[in-house]
Structure 1
Amino acid sequence: MSKPLTKSRFKTALECPNKLFYTSKKEYANNKSEDTFMQALASGGFQVEALARLHYPNGIFINTENYEYDKAVQLTHEALKLENVVIYEAAFQFDGLFIRTDLLVKSGKQIKLIEVKAKSFDPTDENSFIGKRGGLVSDWKPYLFDVAFQKYVVQKVLPQQQVEAYFLMADKTKKAAIDGLNQLFRIPNNGNPRTDIIQKTTSLEEIGASVLSEINVDTIINDIIQNKYKYYENLNFEEAITTFRKAYQEDSYLKWPTQFSACKKCEFKTTPEQEKEGLKSGFKHCFSKQLGWTELEFKKPNAMQIWNFRGKNLMEENRLLMENMIVEDINIKPEAGRIAPSERQWIQVEKAVANDNTIFVEKEALKEEMDKWIFPLHFIDFETSTVALPFTTGRKPYEQVAFQFSHHQYNEDGSIEHKSEYINNTAGEFPNFLFARALKKVLENDNGTIFKFALHENTIINAIITQLEESYETDKKELIDFLKSISKATKNQANPWEGERNMVDLCKVVKDYYYNPHTKGSNSIKAVLPAALNSSNFLKQKYSHPIGNINLSSYNFPSNHIWLQTNGDAVINPYKTLPPLFDNWIVTDLEENISDMENIADGGTALTAYAKLQYVDMPPKEREEITNGLLKYCELDTLGMVMIYEHFKYDIII
């Protein structure tokens, strides 16, 4: 079988049919991770799939390589000769289409096609899949069309069978009946989560009860196939399949109309580094073919770079370049005492068009805000995960898990301490209450202002409060009282509160009072920090010296470490200077390295690193190296917040 349209390619085409031309081509940059191991690991998908198979034990596993289409189909055909059979990863091909199903259960003429998803759902929610207005819920739409594609192929191959479609997923209403559920499925050294899972249980009875539930989605799937719901209004279901298959097999570019939101998040864009490597940009290919853009247009700022901007009709009107925008495109709504979101957007446009890199700041309002802050200042960052299978009895799937924090303290005399840090790298240990105790211990000793960056930390604290309320921890009242004192209730809480030391969101401070053109509209600390460093004479002077010489302590970096590095006149993003993992390992030790990680420099790799510490069997030395990488990364997050504060204090307010 040559180049079949698989279900993964079908899903890619649903995102944007033009992507079929770029996918699988090594010459095109692709910034969406296709590492299925990493995806399965970070999401807990391999564990959900292993648990799902316990719902239908003793199945026949069609264990073939991804490219062995004919072999997989033949083995499936042989298995289906049985009157009653369970098949894992059953393979089917029809007229240039190829699929593998997660679970297939044949009982005579009846077939259950079961898609196992590493997602959670609430069976009591009547609008899980179909919204209140009668349309498919957007978050579920790609998954439902994926299952429709599978059912379409299976029914074509087995026309005499009655095929019904199901999801098998984590159930938000279910709780684990045993401790250590998430440690019953692990990956050995050099193991593959698809084929080499170490399974420490053989039946659902051994774990008391499953946290997965099965839901029949056959009516919705049939409605998709029969065109009640469409992904694209100009294509019915079979037309979409035919169009996508033909384009993919003939390697033709469909020239599907460009669309603002889809193009904005296209993964086939090139970074400057990728361009130097000679990789092509699918984004550029589309825009040169359809909008006639030349290299000149690609170098100019465009509306897709505007923070939180929806685009309106700019693409259709061929006014996508910022230089062609008018103020009415933004609909500015000023707000007293702060930079309104719409004002921020127009400031970005004006400065980008004028090539003006000077900072815009509401100086008096920022000073008024900063005058409220009480020393010592505490800068906090959490690293968290949501695990598919719970750690302990009574926990639900995908509950928040807080496994790490870093804490910098800025004293009134200007000295900076890496005051404390916490990490839990013990496989199978639920860390949240230990985390809360460690946080309480280091923050309860004064009334200094506490800072977070964005809403994440407040969300996590609320989740831990709920977990504590449902627990039997002897100190839960003291912990809850402390956590409430530094947080604000989310909308999910029945009884609202706002603590007297509710954490100040430094990201909101940035949005309200400060715009730096070097951020190109992003308010992530990964963008704000290097922008501040490039704009600040104070930071450049101070952090070009070793940390041991600038009144700064560190748990993870030597006293001769220098944070500020430059490339010509430009400051290098500090996240790109974090030391790589295994940097000082000798070759023989590296040969034993099974984690296949090079660095930890963003939240995604931190999440994957924690998943590896939880579920992959690895030598203690490697576990320690990954742990140290996490500590360094999290320390930079809170030091970066300190640097932004210093930028405000010494470059703007003074």
Structure 2
Amino acid sequence: MIQYMTKSKFKLLMECPTKLYYADKQEYSNKKREDSFLKALAEGGYQVEALAQCYYPNGILIPSDNNEEAVSLTKEYLDNEQVTLFQAAIQHEGYFIRTDILIKNKNHLKLIEVKAKSINKEQHLKIEKKDGFINSEWKPYIADVAFQKLVIQKAYPAYSISSFLMLVDKDSICPTDGLNQKFLIKRDSNGRVKVEKSMSLSADDLSVHILKEINTDLYIEKIWGECDENGVTFKDLFNQYCLHYFENKKIKPVLTKECAICQFKTDQFDLDSGLKSGFKECWQEILNYNDRDFDEPNVLELWNYRKKDQCLKLGLIKLKDFHEDDLSVKGDGKPGISASQRQWLQITKAKEKDSNFWIDIENLQSELSSWIYPLHFIDFETAMLPIPFKKGAHPYQGIAFQFSHHILDENGKVEHRGQFLNANPGVDPTIDFIRALKMELSSDAGTIFRYSDHENTYLNMILKQLDSLSLLETERNELSAFIKTITKSTNDSHDKWYGARCMVDLLELVKRYYYDPVMKGSNSIKKVLPAILQRSKFLQNKYGRAIYGVENEIPSKNYENYQWIIMKNGEVKDPYTLLPPLNKEATNEEIEFLFEDEHLKEGGAATIAYAKMQCMEMSEFEREDIRKALLKYCELDTLAMVMIVEAWIDMLQKQYGD
């Protein structure tokens, strides 16, 4: 079977040319095998492409079942003087592409690549930087079009070609209600994805184009002309890489910080299945590493460190080889440790082979003394849909569709107090969400905890949306006052405030007062929870019994007689692994590899599940199954926050007494 250089292979080449060698080989672990479907589902890619096709009512879809037939059919249609094709198949020697939209007008071809990426006037101006280079955020998108244009030029040299990106215009306003429900995603028996457009799709729905075209011709010239440190243009490098790929030769690896998220890493399941690690092979080739070397903490794990690429280039790899002057360690005058002090603490632990956790007892105690009981713990699940729910809304308006709420009283009593989930297709949950949250948190003045800025950011978004929602003025004012009481203003807000009951960010407390080498530089709650469970005998004793979900013990909305502490080989099993994956197509860990955005890494599984419920054909049984899974996962997130605080309180009590 011929292995073509395709759009997906070119994307790999842009990430790391060495990945091309591993991509087609089944003996290597690959965490992104379901990349295209799940990522497009979460980002709305299928629906955006379907909407783009609606702008060209005379367009002809090239069937995708057989590539050779598709290429032949494309050639036939291009014999016409004028034609618009969707998914045109173009092949030249070892290159093969399917174009989203290809428009022929006499001897000119117009290429349009559709992306579910947002843009506004300000962002458009920033595609090209002041120095003439393409902004790194936009480079993958421009490069994608550049590759397609190149293949078309090779296959059809007699034509002039112009190229465009079609993007989601954040400045636009949705013309009608229910537009996002008019594109239903289906998978046939062979797993192929198709989008079914509703018969009710009207001229009014398309009266305002929420997608806009951006000409990329000049940007493409700049990308091909960019030179590396040796003065070799990217176009020449690309040609070299293609030769290596066609001859099945590995391109010599260059180690970068991106190695940390390489999809060709192996976990224990992969190793047990006999799969090989492309990541390991690269590092062994360059550094002559053996298995023991990989066990030692290295610069990829160093939290929030921005000079990883320089260190890798210099050969400063293992944390034990760092010195304090490599980091410019200094305090910031605030309680706890600064970012550079935390980095140095991580390095020191590695140097001294100290596996003990560190906790700032004094400052954490001071923090704790300011808390008001009962303590409240909340977590949101959210989405940003490119095609809005309702008339008058902008694309990618934030939607909070779920929350979980735990409380902890001063006697140590834990309760899953409440929850909210509205994933009904086509229903904007915003009003019901904020009403339910207000009801949950207004019964007392207890301290409220979140984990990261996410909840604060979304409540600020909802605050801005209140004016456009159908509410009585009195309720609008009440909800606005409630939001401002528990939040602080974001940097882009014209009004500035800091609520009297502003949520406490538990993530910030972790960063400043707690560190465990087991976390390997990550402060994700999904790394902190397993680490602290391993350390805390208090948590092991409390949750090592099947009392979670027992009414007179720890009441729960979604669990019954549940035991969270399960030991295996003397270690506590990660509670997140006790639950089945939210999405059957991939594990939650694999989903993390799909996204660069930190929140999507954390909550991408829930975002995908929500997207399925919004726009995929499914039975009521499947819908209810996903709903139950979402409720369980969100509940675990707030329980994790409770457990972290409980462990800290126990540690402080051991230090200071009751």
TM-score by length of 1: 0.93
Residue of 266, 273, 278 corresponding to 2:269: 273
Three-state SS of the structure 2 residue aligned to 1:85 is strand
Between the two proteins, the alignment pairs up a number of residues equal to 635
1:281–1:125 CA distance, 2 compared to 1 (3 A): closer
2:314 matches 1:317: yes
1:132–1:432 CA distance, 2 compared to 1 (3 A): farther
Range that drifts further, 338-347 or 234-243: 234-243
CA distance, structure 1, for counterparts of residue 410 and residue 295 of structure 2:
45
Deviation string, structure 1 residues 135-184 (Cα, Å, up to 9, x no partner): 21111101101111111111222222221111111101001111111100
Matches within 5 A, 1:527-606: 527-547=527-547, 548=550, 551-558=553-560, 560-579=561-580, 596=584, 603-606=603-606
CA distance, structure 2, for counterparts of residue 77 and residue 599 of structure 1:
41
Deviation string, structure 1 residues 551-592 (Cα, Å, up to 9, x no partner): 31100001x2101111121000100112567xxxxxxxxxxx
Matches within 5 A, 1:603-622: 603-622=603-622
Letter in 2 for 1:85: V
CA distance, structure 1, for counterparts of residue 2 and residue 300 of structure 2:
38
Residue of 132, 148, 151 corresponding to 2:149: 151
1:580–1:111 CA distance, 2 compared to 1 (3 A): closer
2:291 matches 1:292: no
2:303 matches 1:302: no
Deviation at 1:111, TM superposition (A): 1.6
Letter in 2 for 1:107: N
Three-state SS of the structure 1 residue aligned to 2:310 is coil
Matches within 5 A, 1:240-389: 240-259=237-256, 261-310=257-306, 311=308, 313-336=310-333, 337-389=335-387
Structure-1 residue corresponding to 2:489: 489
Letter in 2 for 1:11: K
Three-state SS of the structure 1 residue aligned to 2:648 is helix
Residue of 85, 89, 92 corresponding to 1:91: 89
Deviation string, structure 1 residues 74-98 (Cα, Å, up to 9, x no partner): 1110010111100001121223211
Three-state SS of the structure 2 residue aligned to 1:304 is helix
Deviation string, structure 1 residues 582-612 (Cα, Å, up to 9, x no partner): xxxxxxxxxxxxx845777862221111111
Deviation at 1:403, TM superposition (A): 0.5
Contact kept? 1:44, 1:387, Cα under 8 Å: yes
Structure-1 residue corresponding to 2:223: 224
Structure-2 residue corresponding to 1:584: none
CA distance, structure 2, for counterparts of residue 354 and residue 328 of structure 1:
18
Three-state SS of the structure 2 residue aligned to 1:137 is coil
1:202–1:614 CA distance, 2 compared to 1 (3 A): closer
Contact kept? 1:358, 1:517, Cα under 8 Å: yes
Letter in 1 for 2:153: Q
CA distance, structure 1, for counterparts of residue 172 and residue 201 of structure 2:
20
Contact kept? 1:22, 1:28, Cα under 8 Å: yes
Contact kept? 1:46, 1:193, Cα under 8 Å: no
Letter in 1 for 2:298: N
Range that drifts further, 160-169 or 272-281: 272-281
Shift >6 Å, 4+ stretches: 598-601
Matches within 5 A, 1:67-82: 68-82=66-80
Deviation at 1:416, TM superposition (A): 1.1
Structure-2 residue corresponding to 1:517: 517
Letter in 1 for 2:497: W
CA distance, structure 2, for counterparts of residue 418 and residue 196 of structure 1:
39
* Percent of aligned pairs sharing the same letter: 41
Deviation at 1:206, TM superposition (A): 4.1
Letter in 1 for 2:537: N
Contact kept? 1:385, 1:607, Cα under 8 Å: yes
Structure-2 residue corresponding to 1:586: none
Q: Which blocks of at least 5 consecutive residues in structure 2 are unaligned?
A: 590-601
TM-score by length of 2: 0.93
2:110 matches 1:115: no
Q: Which blocks of at least 5 consecutive residues in structure 1 are unaligned?
A: 582-594
Deviation string, structure 1 residues 186-210 (Cα, Å, up to 9, x no partner): 1246476743424344554444322
Contact kept? 1:54, 1:203, Cα under 8 Å: no
Structure-2 residue corresponding to 1:590: none
Deviation string, structure 1 residues 97-143 (Cα, Å, up to 9, x no partner): 11111101111122210010011000344523112343211111011
CA distance, structure 2, for counterparts of residue 384 and residue 422 of structure 1:
12
Three-state SS of the structure 1 residue aligned to 2:153 is helix
Contact kept? 2:544, 2:565, Cα under 8 Å: yes
CA distance, structure 2, for counterparts of residue 442 and residue 416 of structure 1:
15
Letter in 2 for 1:371: S
Letter in 1 for 2:78: L
Deviation string, structure 1 residues 461-499 (Cα, Å, up to 9, x no partner): 011111113334222221111111111111121111111
Letter in 2 for 1:433: I
Letter in 1 for 2:222: D
Deviation at 1:31, TM superposition (A): 2.0
CA distance, structure 2, for counterparts of residue 108 and residue 232 of structure 1:
42
Letter in 1 for 2:86: Y
Structure-1 residue corresponding to 2:426: 428
Residue of 135, 138, 156 corresponding to 1:137: 135
Letter in 1 for 2:612: K
1:60–1:312 CA distance, 2 compared to 1 (3 A): closer
Structure-2 residue corresponding to 1:649: 649
CA distance, structure 2, for counterparts of residue 348 and residue 184 of structure 1:
51
CA distance, structure 2, for counterparts of residue 633 and residue 533 of structure 1:
18
Contact kept? 1:40, 1:193, Cα under 8 Å: no
Residue of 402, 410, 413 corresponding to 1:412: 410
2:632 matches 1:635: no
Three-state SS of the structure 2 residue aligned to 1:484 is helix
